[in-house]
Amino acid sequence: MTTRSFDFPPVEEAESGQKLLQFLERRLGLPSNLIHRWIRTGQIRHNGKRCKPFERVATGDIVRLPPFAGQLAEQSRAEEPAPSELARNAPLPPLIGEKDGLLIFHKPAGLAVQPGTGITDALSSRLAAHFAALPFKPVPCHRLDKDTSGAIIVAKTFEALRRVQEQLSSGQIRKEYLAWTEGAWPYDGAVLLKHYLRKEAREDGSKIRVSNTPLPYAKESRCVARPLRKEGDRTLLQIWLLTGRTHQIRAQLAACGHPVVGDGKYGKPGILRLHAMRIIFPDGDEFARAPDWEGAWSAEEIPPPIPALAAGENC
């Protein structure tokens, strides 16, 4: 963008559906309060008309900016920290498959989904670096813990992002995991685990409190667990996640007395043996990948989905 023209290139299909304020934040890289003021004072026009910050843009729409906006955006981008060398040079994770504006990657254990304190290399950073030329850079639709491996959905368009996030929040997308747990699992068949989870701040960092009964500000959390292999003091479980809470599988299994192997937060530290094995979309399309575990931890065979349960028993 240059100061000779104050019209953006028309809204592209991948950007369609965003709120105007959101669209401008992504395109300009400027603070939302500044853009909001320009919109409120009529300095930004959407298809030649005064506009509101939360109206949505569509493919082909024209957005006109005040004369100085282009220069400010260029200055802001020049001051942005460049992607880390690791993010620029590191490859994207293996691709499991594609569908309807989505990419499904096999995220390795140890790679964070988003950057954070002390973390500059993350899946989102690699995506931004690899797709820097696109007006809408592919973004992860959900999160996996850094040390959890497995399938993660990435959206190539805003409409795909919004669709998948709605499907995830309503439980229309099915996610199944594999987990090696400490101890001999006491059940032989699939069992429904239901608890109430609440995030609590502690001196050693936040942790999830688990209760069998409702707590203030706690969220009901449900998953189905089915044993696949029992080997002495450990069990390989298949987990069907019915709700998506922070650390849900790890916290619930620990509350049952069977923490995930290697989970230093809720059990004994080591290599975390938790893997997002399968994603099933509402239309039945399925994407699955076995974990890269070796030796005694190997789990190369992908089991069939857990049958639906009418009722279950809590641990």
Q: For 170-228, how does the pLDDT look when each residue is reduced to its tens digit (9 = 90+)?
A: 999 999 999 999 999 999 999 999 999 999 987 667 889 999 999 999 999 999 999 99
Q: How far apart are CA 66 and CA 6, in angstroms?
A: 7
Domains of the chain: 13-79 (3.10.290.10), 85-161 (3.30.2350.10), 173-297 (3.30.2350.10)
pTM for the full predicted model: 0.85
Residue numbers annotated as active site: 145
Per-residue model confidence as pLDDT tens digits over 239-294: 999 999 999 999 999 999 999 999 999 999 999 999 999 999 999 999 999 999 99
Q: For residues 136 and 157, is the Cβ–Cβ distance under 8 A?
A: yes
Write the DSSP string, 146-167. TT-EEEEEEESSHHHHHHHHHH
Per-residue model confidence as pLDDT tens digits over 107-155: 999 999 998 777 778 999 999 889 988 889 999 999 999 999 999 999 9
Query: HSE on the CB side for 8, CA within 13 Å?
Result: 27
